[in-house]
């Protein structure tokens, strides 16, 4: 008989991927906390909450993060252009999870061995800004099969990070 393990019994792989995550203009505290949780779950190297509308670390954010705010390397910054430029100069490939006129379906994503990424997701209202989209070498979208053209940023990020790290 299979029995579900408790959280204390499970040992993670403890891999830190060479992935930097930029979450632009995330307004909802619960989304910010869950993004921290995903950053922890997928071994993200560094997380940047960006923009004038980025939600601050609050009780709601902490609660939604399930205490990963204590272990994830994150910071708040006003503008990401310098960060993207710096990481690109260090050999990171900037990609956006956003539907655009040039985006490819996420299933087309292929990483080279040891490739480093800056993954950019956008806020609940406007998505990734045009400024950051222009800095990305590629854009990827999750194909939708219903009537809506998008899903919640946290859900999209979970799908995206799974695909990006599956063979990394």
Residue 1 lies in a domain: no
pLDDT confidence of residue 5: 66
Report DSSP letters for 74-111, one per residue.
EEEES--HHHHHHHHHTTEEEEEES--TT-EEGGG--P
How far is the C-alpha of 83 from the C-alpha of 53, rounded, in Å?
Answer: 18
Q: Which of 132, 123, 133 lies closest to 157, judged by CA?
A: 123
- Do the beta carbons of residue 31 and residue 121 sit within 8 Å? no
**Total count of domains within the chain:** 1
- Tokens 């993004």, residue located: 35
Residue 7 lies in a domain: no
Q: What is the pLDDT of residues 90-126, one digit of tens each?
A: 999 999 999 999 999 999 999 988 899 999 999 988 8
Residue 139 lies in a domain: yes
Residue 3 lies in a domain: no
Residue 4 lies in a domain: no
Domain containing 134 equals 17-165
- CATH number of the domain where residue 135 is located: 3.40.1280.10
How far is the C-alpha of 89 from the C-alpha of 92, rounded, in Å?
Answer: 7
Residue 153 CB neighbours (<10 A) = 24
**Which residues in the chain show pLDDT less than 70?**
5-16, 168
Residue 12 lies in a domain: no
pLDDT confidence of residue 113: 85
Residue 111 CB neighbours (<10 A) = 18
């Amino acid at each position: 008989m299979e029995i579900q393990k408790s959280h204390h019994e499970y040992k993670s792989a403890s891999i830190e991927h060479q992935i930097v995550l930029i979450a632009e203009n995330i307004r909802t505290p619960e989304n910010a906390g869950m993004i921290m949780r995903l950053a922890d779950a997928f071994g993200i190297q560094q997380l940047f909450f960006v923009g004038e509308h980025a939600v601050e670390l609050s009780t709601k954010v902490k609660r939604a993060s399930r205490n990963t705010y204590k272990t994830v390397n994150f910071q708040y910054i006003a503008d990401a252009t310098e960060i993207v430029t710096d990481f690109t100069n260090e050999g990171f490939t900037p990609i956006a999870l956003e539907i655009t006129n040039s985006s490819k379906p996420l299933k087309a994503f292929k990483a080279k061995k040891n490739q480093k990424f800056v993954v950019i997701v956008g806020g609940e209202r406007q998505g990734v800004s045009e400024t950051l989209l222009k800095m990305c070498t590629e854009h990827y979208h999750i194909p939708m099969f219903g009537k809506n053209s998008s899903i919640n940023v946290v859900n999209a990020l979970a799908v995206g990070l799974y695909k990006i790290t599956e063979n990394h």
